[in-house]
Amino acid sequence: MQLKREALARGTTVQGLVNDLLAGALRPAVRRSEPFDWPVVHGRLQPGVRLEDRDSLFDLMDGR
């Protein structure tokens, strides 16, 4: 019932509304284009730590 009311309000069919909703839900999330400023707490980073490289951070945390 709610889909019918919403489709009527948007001037489309229920099928068109469902297609639009699904397409919006499946669209990839928008990534931020602005750089993130990593705060450094208590001085400097340890040698080898590169915050922009997730895999190297995991390697360091795992002791690899």
Would you say 48 and 60 are in contact if contact means Cβ atoms under 8 Å apart?
Answer: yes
Would you say 3 and 17 are in contact if contact means Cβ atoms under 8 Å apart?
Answer: yes
Backbone φ, ψ for residue 42 (5° rounding): 60, 50
Taking the mean position of all CA atoms in its chain, how far away is CA 57?
A: 20
Side-chain-side CA neighbours of 35 within 13 Å: the count stands at 5
User: In which band, very low, low, confident or very high, does the pLDDT at 53 lie, cut at 50, 70 and 90?
Assistant: confident
Asked whether the predicted pLDDT for residue 64 surpasses 80, the reply is no
DSSP 3-state of 60:
helix
Give me the residue spans of the domains in the chain.
1-27
pLDDT, tens digit (0-9, with 9 covering 90-100), for 1-39:
899 999 999 999 999 999 999 998 888 777 767 777 766
- pTM for the whole structure: 0.44
